[in-house]
């Protein structure tokens, strides 16, 4: 490490003495980022100085969160609520942190939270948990595939021992085989506690794959065979779940629907059926909801989650019905919400602050409880957003709300 300046370090890159991606080997991370900004600005003929205004030490992000860092992009952060929640792990009244550039989104979720409070609060529960990794193996034919499936079922304990030798926190829950011709997929599912757990599951599964190859005739083709399924729309996640499967619901009295949302339970229920269920089915969609991705993405950004996993997080079904008493029952079930409160982006200061707003930063007691609480909080945010949007459609206020809020 030298006393290099951004200017001198950039000059060394131009002269070919230092590679662009190796600057942190020659200066501290903040100087390295500043040098890259100089080089990028020259190449792009752009003013990128604003990217150097960030509230964390670049050394905290370098390597674990980013490579070739030149700065940070700031996304406005708002809150909705506080909202009252009766959760299995998340309870009381809490603000929901939402990072977004979409005007009207926080206002809409905030309105939904207010209605939830007037209804007595929402209920939320995590109903299933397990991070998956599904390697694909090559076998000679279907007979060999059947033999591998039988071996896996007889030797799951050996696979568990190998997988769990790589982690002090993760637990292998089960291994489910799937056969397609001479391809065998083994879907490993882990309890990763408060970590989102993708890296944990990957490392553990690699160790188990060594046992499979040593003890059978199968050959590992790829550690991820896309049956996991990570960062892609997939029906298996909708049915079997991935990460945390979580549901939030609320029963809103008729008078609250009419006075606060300016519509009726029957109208909201019909819109949900014709739009979210029939419309989504006709479109071939996996998400039978109005805009769950909005709440998931905004809370992911605010709390340091892997933003690409919004793909699975928005794999949700919204239900709405008028009860026999004339009230509105509404629920949102997110099948594959992949979240954590330790590791990854959760350790960055601004994202850690978002977790602090929810009271779920770091490992929970018992282990896994903070991850469950975060999932329940996101589900309630999604529920509030669905209520508000469905009602806006029912009262025909959607376009005027966006116009009034600059969108």
**Whole-angstrom distance, CA of residue 130 vs CA of residue 338:** 9
CA angle 116, 105, 398 (to 5 degrees): 85
21 catalytic? Reply is no
**Whole-angstrom distance, CA of residue 390 vs CA of residue 16:** 58
365 catalytic? Reply is no
What single DSSP character describes residue 62? B
**Whole-angstrom distance, CA of residue 218 vs CA of residue 148:** 7
From the list 43, 44, 46, 39, the residue with the least C-alpha distance to 9 is 39
From the list 90, 118, 91, the residue with the least C-alpha distance to 388 is 118
Torsion, CA 334, CA 336, CA 338, CA 339, rounded to 10: 30
Token pair, residue 339, equals: 């979240």
CB 118 within 8 A of CB 258: no
Would you call 73 helix, strand, or coil by DSSP? Answer: coil
**Whole-angstrom distance, CA of residue 251 vs CA of residue 180:** 44
Token pair, residue 391, equals: 């009602």
Catalytic residue, candidates 194, 306, 312, 338: 306
Q: Tokens 């479109």, residue?
A: 283
Can you spell out the DSSP letters for 197-236?
A: -HHHHHHHHHHHHHHHHHHSS-EEEES--SSS--SS--HH
Q: Phi/psi at 72 (nearest 5 deg)?
A: -145, 150
Q: Phi/psi at 318 (nearest 5 deg)?
A: -100, 130
Query: Using a CB cutoff of 8 Å and minimum separation of 24, what contacts does 62-69 make?
Result: 62/24, 62/29, 62/32, 63/24, 64/347, 65/344, 65/345, 65/348, 67/21, 68/20, 68/21, 68/36, 69/29, 69/32, 69/33, 69/36
For residue 258, give Cα distances in angstroms to 239, 290, 315, 386: 35, 20, 30, 16
Catalytic residue, candidates 11, 102, 171, 270: 102
102 catalytic? Reply is yes
Across the chain, which distance is largest between two alpha carbons, in Å? 77
Residues forming the active site: 102, 306, 402
């Amino acid at each position: 490490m030298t006393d290099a300046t951004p200017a001198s370090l950039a000059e060394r890159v131009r002269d070919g003495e230092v590679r662009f991606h190796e600057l942190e080997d020659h200066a501290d991370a903040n100087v390295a980022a500043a040098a890259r900004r100089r080089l990028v600005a020259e190449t792009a003929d752009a003013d990128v100085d604003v990217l150097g205004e960030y509230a964390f030490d670049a050394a905290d992000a370098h390597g674990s969160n980013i490579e070739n860092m030149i700065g940070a992009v700031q996304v406005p952060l708002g809150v909705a609520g506080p909202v009252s929640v009766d959760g299995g792990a998340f309870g009381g009244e809490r603000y929901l942190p939402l990072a977004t550039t979409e005007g009207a989104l926080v206002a809409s979720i905030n309105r939904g939270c207010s209605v939830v409070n007037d209804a007595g609060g929402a209920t939320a529960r995590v109903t299933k948990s397990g991070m998956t990794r599904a390697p694909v193996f090559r076998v000679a034919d279907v007979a060999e595939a059947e033999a591998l499936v039988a071996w896996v079922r007889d030797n799951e304990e050996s696979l568990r021992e190998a997988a769990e030798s790589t982690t002090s926190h993760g637990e292998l829950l089960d291994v489910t085989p799937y056969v397609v011709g001479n391809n065998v997929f083994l879907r490993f599912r882990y309890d990763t506690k408060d970590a989102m757990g993708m890296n944990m599951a990957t490392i553990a599964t690699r160790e188990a794959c060594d046992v499979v190859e040593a003890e059978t005739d199968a050959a590992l083709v790829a550690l991820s065979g896309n049956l996991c399924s990570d960062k892609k729309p997939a029906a298996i996640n909708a049915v079997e779940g991935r990460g945390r499967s979580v549901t939030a619901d609320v029963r809103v009295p008729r008078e609250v629907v009419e006075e606060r949302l300016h519509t009726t339970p029957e109208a909201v229920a019909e819109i949900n059926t014709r739009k979210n269920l029939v419309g989504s089915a006709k479109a071939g969609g996996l998400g039978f909801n109005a805009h769950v991705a909005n709440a998931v993405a905004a809370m992911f950004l605010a709390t340091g989650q892997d933003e690409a996993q919004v793909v699975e997080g928005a794999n949700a079904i919204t239900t709405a019905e008028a009860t026999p008493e004339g009230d509105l029952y509404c629920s949102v079930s997110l099948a594959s919400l992949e979240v954590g409160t330790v590791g990854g982006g959760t350790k960055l200061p601004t994202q850690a602050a978002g977790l602090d707003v929810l009271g779920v930063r770091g490992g929970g007691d018992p282990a896994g409880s903070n991850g469950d609480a975060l999932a329940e909080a996101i589900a309630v945010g999604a529920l509030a957003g669905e209520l508000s949007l469905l009602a806006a459609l029912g009262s025909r206020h959607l376009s005027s709300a966006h116009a009034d809020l600059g969108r």
